[in-house]
Amino acid sequence: MQVTMKRLTGKKALVTGGSRGIGAAIVERLAHQGASVAYTHRGHDHATHAAGEHSKSDGAAYAIEADSADPEALSRAVEKAAQTLGGIDIFVSSAGTLLFKPIEEFTLDEFNRVVAVDRRAAYVGSKAVLGHMGEGGRIVFVSSNIADHAALPMTSLYSMAKSGLDGLCKGMARDLGPKQITVNTVHPGPINTDANPENGPFSDRLKSLMATPKYGRPEDVAGLVAYLVSDEAAFASGAAYRIDNAFAA
């Protein structure tokens, strides 16, 4: 479906992990709806490709290299985005990492990496962004339906890291409510990305858990995020929104 509404015209957005998968779709949707968007990436090749795609949109998109697992790098990226855009109205913490294996096989380094990217980065990024966000700002954390429905084995660390985003979201929604800043999480189910392709090794099992045996598209998630960061969603805060084809129903 072609999106023609420009309900984000004049808004300034930062999306972490915005060069591929769900993050890239979010950048594209926000830019198409008129926002100026900065996004972080870890690899030049992905960012170059993404920038070419985003240049087709109505808004503008700017790539900033930063590893979300590095708090200092992420904070610097926020400062650069604010300087480039002239402020930040919207922050979407989309960067994530997937690592599935039995709990007894995880190393402490792997544990720390998963927590750093999938949980801590949302806090670090939000804290840095708030210095540049005025009243009516929007914050969205991209979580996972596995956060509250670990339907498969080998998902313990990912589930733990993502579930923490809901607690952070609820507390921040209370703290930031007086500034009219909303905070929400989005819980995608199986989405066709490089990290979890619809023809991958887990796809048959995942399809069997949904209302219809099909994966979602990154654009599906982007549409929900675009609504939550718009003025229309001013009354939506402190909540988790599933988009998972009844996976967790």
Domain boundaries, the chain: 12-243
Answer yes or no: is pLDDT of 52 > 50. no
| Residue whose C-alpha is closest to residue 221's, from 235, 242, 200, 237 | 242
What pTM was estimated for this model as a whole? 0.92
Question: What is d(CA 26, CA 202) in angstroms, rounded to the nearest whole number?
Answer: 25
* Torsion angle of the four alpha carbons 186, 58, 48, 92, in this order, in degrees rounded to the nearest 10: -20
Q: Is residue 42 helix, strand or coil?
A: coil
CATH dotted code for 12-243: 3.40.50.720
Distance of CA 193 to the CA centre of its chain: 14
Contact 140, 229 (CB under 8 A): yes
Work out the mean pLDDT of the chain and round it to a whole number: 91
Strand partners, 185: 141, 240
Say which of 39, 62, 123, 158 is annotated catalytic.
158
Residue with the larger pLDDT of the pair 166 and 6: 166
The question of whether 241 is a catalytic residue gets the answer no
**Across residues 7-36, what is the average pLDDT?**
96
Q: What is the pLDDT of residue 49?
A: 47
| Per-residue pLDDT band at 111 (split at 50, 70, 90) | very high
